[in-house]
C-alpha cells in the first residue's frame, strides 16, 4: 500500500530516542502543528514543547513528548534535534502529573515573589505539560482507558 517511507531520527544530547522508517509524522513547530509526509520539500523549523506523533512503517503509532528543538526535513529524511524527548510508553503518567503540579506551584511562587528564572520555570511547566499530553494521547491510541 505504501511504497514511500521517511528515514526518521530523533536525537537528544543524551541519546538517540528513536530511529526508524516511518510513513508520516505530526509535530508542533513554532508556526503551528504540521504533518510531514514522504516527498516533503526540504524544511528547517524550530519546534515548541509538545507531542510528536509518528506512524511507523509497520503501522504502529509512536507518541513522543519533546521540549523544544529543531526539525530538519530533507528528501525522504526527517531529523529532530530535541532538547529532551521521551517516548510516551516510557513516561509514567502519575509522575508526569506530579511533575506538572510541581511546576505549576513553582510558577505560582515565582509570580508572587521575585521573577528570577521565570522563563526556566515556564519551560519546565511546558515540558511537563507535553509529557502528560503525550501519555494521554498514547493511552487513548492504545485504548488503555
Partner 1 sequence: MANTRDIKKRIKSIGNTKKITRAMEMVSAAKMRKAIEAVLRTRSYANLSWATVLNLARANGQDGRPPHPLLDAVSAGSAQAKRGGVKKVAVVLITSNRGLCGGFNSVIIKKVLESIRKHSEPHPNPLLRKEREQAGGVSHEFILLGKKGQAVYKNFNFPVTADFPKLDYINEVGEVIPVARMIIKDYLSGQYDKVMVAYTDFINAAKQLPRVKQLLPIDITTADEYLGVVGQDPRLGLNKELIEEKEKKHLQSGQFKYEYIFEPSPEEVLNEMLPRLIEIQLFQALLESNASEQSARRLAMHQATEAATDMAGELTLSYNKARQAGVTSEIAEISAGANALAE
The binding site for partner 1 (CB under 8 A) comprises 9, 11-16, 29-31, 41-46, 70, 72, 74-75, 79, 81, 83
Q: How far apart are CA 2 and CA 6, in angstroms?
A: 11
User: Taking the C-alpha atoms of 144, 125, 86 and 58 in order, what is their torsion angle to the nearest 10 degrees?
Assistant: 50
Q: Is 39 left (phi over 0), alpha (psi -120 to 50) or beta?
A: left
Quote the least distance from Cβ 84 to partner 1, whole Å: 9
| Residue 144 Cβ vs partner 1, minimum distance, rounded to whole Å | 31
Q: Which residue, 12 or 26, has its beta carbon nearer to partner 1?
A: 12
Rounded-to-integer distance, Cα 96 and Cα 92, Å: 6
The grid coordinates listed for 4 are: 514511500
Give the DSSP H/E element, type plus range, for residue 3: none
Strand partners, 80: 10, 71
- Which residue lies nearer to partner 1 by CB, 10 or 23? 10
Give the shortest CB-81-to-partner 1 separation in angstroms: 5
Closer to partner 1 at the Cβ: 16 or 144? 16
Shortest separation between residue 102's beta carbon and partner 1, angstroms: 17
Closest to partner 1 by CB, 52 or 138: 52
Amino acid at each position: 500500500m505504501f511504497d514511500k517511507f521517511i528515514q526518521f531520527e530523533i536525537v537528544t544530547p543524551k541519546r538517540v530516542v528513536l530511529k526508524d522508517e516511518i510513513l508520516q509524522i505530526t509535530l508542533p513547530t513554532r508556526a503551528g502543528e504540521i504533518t510531514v509526509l514522504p516527498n516533503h520539500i526540504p524544511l528547517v523549523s524550530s519546534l515548541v514543547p509538545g507531542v510528536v506523533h509518528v506512524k511507523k512503517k509497520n503501522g504502529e503509532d509512536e507518541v513522543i513528548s519533546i521540549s523544544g528543538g529543531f526539525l530538519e526535513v530533507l528528501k525522504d529524511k526527517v531529523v529532530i534535534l530535541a532538547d529532551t524527548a521521551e517516548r510516551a510508553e516510557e513516561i509514567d503518567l502519575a509522575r508526569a502529573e506530579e511533575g506538572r503540579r510541581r511546576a505549576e506551584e513553582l510558577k505560582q511562587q515565582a509570580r508572587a515573589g521575585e521573577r528570577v528564572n521565570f522563563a526556566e520555570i515556564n519551560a519546565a511547566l511546558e515540558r511537563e505539560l507535553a509529557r502528560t499530553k503525550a501519555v494521554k494521547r498514547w493511552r487513548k491510541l492504545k485504548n488503555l482507558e
